[in-house]
Structure 1
Amino acid sequence: MFANRILSGMRPTGSLHLGHYHGVIKNWVELQSSHDCYFMVADWHALTTNYDNVSIIEKSIWDMVIDWLAAGVDPDKATVFLQSKVPQHAELHLALSMVTPLSWLERVPTYKDQIEKLSTKDLGTYGFLGYPLLQAADILVYKAGLVPVGEDQVPHIELTREVARRFNNLFGREANFDELAQAAAKKIGKQGKQFMQQRTAYLQDGNAEALQAAREILAASQNLGVADRERLAGWLENKGKTILPEPEAKLTAASRMPGLDGQKMSKSYGNTITMREAPEQVSKKVKAMPTDPARVRRTDAGNPEKCPVWQLHQVYSDHDTREWVKQGCTSAGIGCLDCKQPVIEGVLREQQPMFERAEQYLTHPDRVKEIVFEGCRRAEQVAKETMTDVRAAMGLGF
């Protein structure tokens, strides 16, 4: 498993807004400096709910990639690629569909939730039922160790872990597995004997400390290749070779970006500011925001806690500005338009470097395609290696 490798993605279904930036992309920009990051344009996933409106997908792909780059995603640090241009995603999805119980997909919490929320769409398709399995394939084809998600997405990672576990249990034991594992243990050197003693203590007595000690010996060994390391990891717990490692959820800090009406910013609520919204539009939208209904007249005192604009001050204003707003609102010392101006300035200040970075790609669109083409090439190299192991394990390696 590549413990430091991260896989994350977004569906191209329209313009990205500041909720996407604060909720996802800002985190990506931080992670790319410390992790091996793969950021995926999930265009096949877009078809699960937008199969009847595909015209939006292609334009959204390139707009979205430019938004990522404008926000600070660095193609020299992270791999940016299109899901549909790496066919191994679909191949692994098909392979996993052969062994994944139908009931596992039907119990995913977001399945029924989305059907209820999108009741106007016909989602009685295999593609929609199977999209969590395609997500699992997206992660497992890169043997990603970490997947950054919010609390609501943890069940998807747990499904991915269960699918990987079932696959490994079904296909992970090679014909001469025990002999290969014992030969690999000898490669550890002086620690090999201790590794085997700890393994015995764990398997015979269920000694959890012995299991941990054996794992530490394995982790510290410098003399093992990937295949031998995976064999020993499986042999240690009397399992087979780990072909598809189980990923961990990397919980991201809850970031509820407020929209123009005080609800969570979302396209479905029509309360968004896009990442590259024109300054005059930003100003117009913020000035039109509803405020505390108690402030009917300029001279009426208000309560910031009841005002959607106050929520945006929590994101864009410093302590002194917030204190000025609180004092001015509760005493009617400032008007609502006065209160909104620092928010407008804060949004425009955040967007300015995005516009500057985006300009180089808008004037040279071929550069965006070069970045994605190179990202697809790098992603496919990794995905091919995984599928070689998967095909061999399933008897298709001839």
Structure 2
Amino acid sequence: MPDPARRRVLTGDTPTGSLHIGHWVGSVKRRVEIQETHDCFFLVANLHAFTTRADKPEDIRRDCMEVVRDALAMGIDPSKASIFLQTEVPAILELTYLFSMLLPYNRVMRNPTLKDELKVKGLDDNYSFGFPLYTVGQTADILAFRAHDVPVGEDQVPHLELTREVARRFNKFYCGVPDKAPDEEHVDLGGVFPIPEADVGKVGRLIGTDGIHKMSKSLGNSILITDTPKQVKKKLGKIYVGVDNRQPNDPGEVDPEKNPLFQYVETFIDSEDEVAELRDRYARGDNIGDGVIKVRVAEVISELLEPMQERRRQYESDDVVMDILHDGCKKAIAATEETLAMAKEAASLHFFDRTIGI
């Protein structure tokens, strides 16, 4: 049973492919840390994956299994956190429909993350109705668990702000929470939903190996946690550092905003002294080429990935992964059915009790 004294966490991933080091620094590392102190639910958002791949259901199913393996490899402990499938938790879908009544369409479409995704994925006006609807679904993913904290990357903060708006509106409409009530007092004042807070990772947005876009497997600019040292070195060798034909004795740019290579240096090299030395030598042009730094970063990333790849071998069996998901889904259903009953009671939608299980 969940410990009511612990803050609850909800976060997750859309199964669009294997997880990569951008996931690690943006969110998963934080999940591994807080599973020791929080009541954690980690979502595999397989229904959200249909927004752009509805014609590839078998690929989505395969990717669900791979995402779970990757999360376990990164250090998520199924004895401390519940990993579950979105489609096995009916309360999420019911709350999505209810919450869609609380958000104006124009507000949903103003979401900057949604706009960016439409642009990056080249969808323009060629997207399904379900694509903007998934942003409402994300509010239900979070609020169905009455989560207090949501570990996210920087690009997901606008989604969370939409969730906070829905929680406030529901609590005011149906629970009598005063209009000016502070967020932290909503539950004490009778609200069903806590107003969740973003927990942004150390690196909110890791640039991909193209040096331009956020790391994404679909853009071909990612380093996967399953990559070998040779593959890591090859991918890092492609990072564009902002200038062409820089020589080892040329002063270089060390601002991570302008030279993505130094975002990797600061993110993955733990030694502050080593980072400071590399920055100093590179900025002065002290006989240090881009290749030297790329090789060093590749080494430390491969050292990070080695124990993850070792853990991943424990979960090669589909049966093992399915058992973990089954247990997580049972816990997720129990938590969300409680929330749904509270929400339906508040909104005068409760007529009969029900029991759902798997």
Normalising by structure 1, we get a TM-score of 0.74
Matched residue of 1:130: which SS?
A: helix
Q: How does 1:204-215 map to 2 (within 5 A)?
A: none
Which of 244, 250, 268 is the matching residue for 1:293?
A: 244
**Structure 1 residues 265, 150: closer, same or farther in 2, change over 3 A?**
closer
Number of residue pairs matched? 338
Q: Which amino acid aligns with 1:95?
A: L
> What residue in structure 2 maps to residue 180 of structure 1?
none
> What residue in structure 2 maps to residue 52 of structure 1?
55
> What residue in structure 2 maps to residue 89 of structure 1?
92
**In the alignment, does 2:209 pair up with 1:260?**
yes
**Structure 1 residues 37, 301: closer, same or farther in 2, change over 3 A?**
same
**In the alignment, does 2:69 pair up with 1:118?**
no
> What residue in structure 2 maps to residue 370 of structure 1?
323
* Alpha-carbon distance in structure 2 between the residues aligned to 1:69 and 1:152: 24
Which of 383, 390, 396 is the matching residue for 2:336?
A: 383
Task: Check conservation: 2:44, 2:85, Cα contact below 8 A.
Answer: yes
Task: Check conservation: 2:253, 2:283, Cα contact below 8 A.
Answer: no
> What residue in structure 1 maps to residue 135 of structure 2?
132
Give the fraction of aligned pairs with identical amino acids, expressed as a percent.
39
**Structure 1 residues 170, 122: closer, same or farther in 2, change over 3 A?**
same
Q: Which amino acid aligns with 2:309?
A: F
* Alpha-carbon distance in structure 1 between the residues aligned to 2:220 and 2:266: 21
| Cα shift at 1:78 | 1.0
Which of 39, 44, 57 is the matching residue for 1:41?
A: 44
Give structure 2 stretches of 5+ with no counterpart.
353-358
Matched residue of 2:84: which SS?
A: strand
Task: Check conservation: 1:329, 1:335, Cα contact below 8 A.
Answer: no
| Cα shift at 1:34 | 1.6
> What residue in structure 2 maps to residue 178 of structure 1?
none
Q: How does 1:1-398 map to 2 (within 5 A)?
A: 4-120=7-123, 123-172=126-175, 233-234=188-189, 241-263=190-212, 264-287=214-237, 289=239, 293-295=244-246, 301-305=249-253, 309-317=261-269, 318-322=271-275, 323=277, 327=281, 333=287, 337-362=291-316, 364-393=317-346, 394-398=348-352
| Cα shift at 1:148 | 2.6
Deviates more, 1:321-330 or 1:120-129: 321-330
| CA deviation profile, 1:71-130 (whole Å, cap 9, x unmatched) | 111111111111111111111212333444434323333333433333346654331222
* Alpha-carbon distance in structure 2 between the residues aligned to 1:145 and 1:375: 19
* Alpha-carbon distance in structure 2 between the residues aligned to 1:343 and 1:155: 31
| CA deviation profile, 1:294-318 (whole Å, cap 9, x unmatched) | 346xxx5233427654443333333
Q: Which amino acid aligns with 1:70?
A: A
Deviates more, 1:272-281 or 1:91-100: 91-100
Q: Which amino acid aligns with 1:242?
A: G
**Structure 1 residues 331, 392: closer, same or farther in 2, change over 3 A?**
closer
> What residue in structure 2 maps to residue 182 of structure 1?
none
Q: Which amino acid aligns with 2:161?
A: E
| Cα shift at 1:275 | 1.1
Q: Please state which structure has a larger fraction of its residues in helix.
A: 1
| CA deviation profile, 1:206-255 (whole Å, cap 9, x unmatched) | 9x9xx99xx7xxxxxxxxxxxxx95xx33xxxxxx423333233344444
**Structure 1 residues 59, 122: closer, same or farther in 2, change over 3 A?**
farther
| Cα shift at 1:146 | 1.9
| CA deviation profile, 1:255-281 (whole Å, cap 9, x unmatched) | 443433433433354322111112222
**Structure 1 residues 387, 304: closer, same or farther in 2, change over 3 A?**
same
Task: Check conservation: 1:86, 1:380, Cα contact below 8 A.
Answer: yes
Deviates more, 1:75-84 or 1:104-113: 104-113
Q: Which amino acid aligns with 1:340?
A: K
* Alpha-carbon distance in structure 2 between the residues aligned to 1:245 and 1:326: 46
Matched residue of 1:14: which SS?
A: coil
Q: Which amino acid aligns with 2:225?
A: M
Normalising by structure 2, we get a TM-score of 0.81
RMSD: 3.3
| CA deviation profile, 1:169-218 (whole Å, cap 9, x unmatched) | 44336xxxxxxxxxxxxxxxxxxxxxxxxxxxx99xx9x9xx99xx7xxx
Matched residue of 1:144: which SS?
A: coil
**Structure 1 residues 320, 40: closer, same or farther in 2, change over 3 A?**
same
| Cα shift at 1:320 | 5.0
| Cα shift at 1:50 | 2.3
> What residue in structure 1 maps to residue 356 of structure 2?
none
